[in-house]
Amino acid sequence: MTRWWTTDETHDPARTSWVESAQGHGDFPIQNLPYGVFSPNGAEARIGVAIGDMILDLAACAGEGLIGEGGDTLLDPTLNALMALPGETRRSLRRAISALLSDPAMQATVEPHLHSARDCTLHLPAQIGDYSDFYVGIHHANNIGRQFRPDNPLLPNYKYVPIGYHGRASSIRPSGEALVRPCGQRKAPDADAPVYGPTARLDYELELGVWVGPGNDLGSPIAIGKAADHIAGFCLLNDWSARDFQAWEYQPLGPFLAKNFHSTISPWVVTAEAMAPYRIAQLARPDGDPAPLPYLADPDDQAHGALGLTLAVYLTSATMRAEGMAPMRLSHGPASNMYWTVQQIVTHHASNGCNLKPGDLLGTGTISAPLREGFGSLMELSAGGKEPLTLPTGETRAFLADGDEVMLRAVARADGFMSIGFGECRAQVLAARGQEVA
């Protein structure tokens, strides 16, 4: 049986594509082949795959009978049916697409279905039925916890339970769509009562998104040894946060309006199959930490469950863009700084019988490194606003200003394999709209 970390000819670093821009591409060489939903030149949305600076229209290829097993799912306008396929079928589909793009004999047949990515519109890749966000970045949890509980930053359940909350699927948007500064309640520590208005502490969160594959029936948990079979792929996720709203509303029921106004994802689904070479061992827990409860413990997951990704956050202000300045990198660090694996997230989510469905999205929560250079939010970088950052223009930021644009990036690397990327996850902050009720 093929295991989820097994590589094949599609990962061969010597494999090349007849698509010229794919050679050495930083994000989308032929070893990647992420799926997305795009509209070429204003046409109807359809499924495609990124290859270099181009997008291959997979719906057109499938319609011409160029793709065998699993090709019928490519005729849909979303990736939900493809995500529902068993892992072996998805691997077969990946091999077929890789062959189309690597075999010179197929160039004349396939090339008419290529589109320049810059001329296409990218959409949400799936119809997202549900979205849940977790809190598995232990350094982020410690950093945020110290601001509120200096002597006891982690709550007692953190090292036993992959903590999460149910988010809002309706406000998830693809990279490039601006977000409007939200309005809500906030209360200063020395104030007698809260006030309503635009957030003054808008923040980003550096996260990974996990796309659910086949899913499970209501009442049927997912065993940790089978959890990887239920993961279709990954994306970048920026779960924008209004920290002042959050501080006021989070007790006793947790995040609500501080989180549900907008979440940005990268539009390409980097498949679980593409990530096989970049599976690494989960970091050992510190001495004295409890072992995972049996339903979350699996030797294969500990040996291959973490991801060999480097994550980074960049910022430009309106002034920086006007002056032609390059984005400022705010932080970078490895995705291995997760206390729980994505498989443990899936298993815990379904452990009470909750049914996950193809195209559901799970967020990891903010991933931060131990040192400041790897902090995944402004709340951490600015020490809760006490230590503002200085931009190349001389502007300062404790939290995001209108006109700021935040971009997340990720690169997967492994010795002996080609590096692959996730593309951009970016959005610009717009001013708050009027407070009247629609």
Please compute the mean of the pLDDT values over residues 62-66 and round it to a whole number: 96
Q: What is the mean pLDDT of the chain?
A: 96
pLDDT band with cut points at 50, 70 and 90 for residue 148: confident
Indicate the pairing of strand 389-390 with strand 420-421: unpaired
Q: Which CATH architecture has domain 131-430?
A: Alpha-Beta Complex (3.90)
- For the segment 103-128, what is each residue's pLDDT rounded down to a tens digit? 999 999 999 999 999 999 999 999 99
Q: Give the model's pLDDT for residue 438.
A: 41
Q: What stretches of 64-113 show up as alpha helix (H) in DSSP?
A: 80-83, 87-102, 107-110
The binding site for substrate consists of 135, 149, 246, 250, 366
Report CA torsion sign: 76, 79, 82, 84. negative
CA dist., res. 346 & res. 343, Å (int): 5
- For the segment 305-318, what is each residue's pLDDT rounded down to a tens digit? 999 999 999 999 99
Q: Give the model's pLDDT for residue 435.
A: 59
| Residue at token pair 């946060």 | 241
Q: Give the model's pLDDT for residue 1.
A: 63
Residues of the chain with CATH 2.30.30.230: 21-123
Q: CA-based angle 73:78:81, to the nearest 5?
A: 40
Please compute the mean of the pLDDT values over residues 405-434 and round it to a whole number: 97
Q: Give the model's pLDDT for residue 437.
A: 44
CA dist., res. 110 & res. 331, Å (int): 40
Structure tokens given for 346:
């899936």
The binding site for Mg(2+) consists of 239, 259, 263
Q: Which CATH architecture has domain 21-123?
A: Roll (2.30)
The binding site consists of 133, 135, 149, 205, 207, 239, 246, 250, 259, 263, 366
Give the active site residues. Answer: 140
Please compute the mean of the pLDDT values over residues 64-83 and round it to a whole number: 96
Query: 147 pLDDT exceeds 80?
Result: yes
Residues of the chain with CATH 3.90.850.10: 131-430
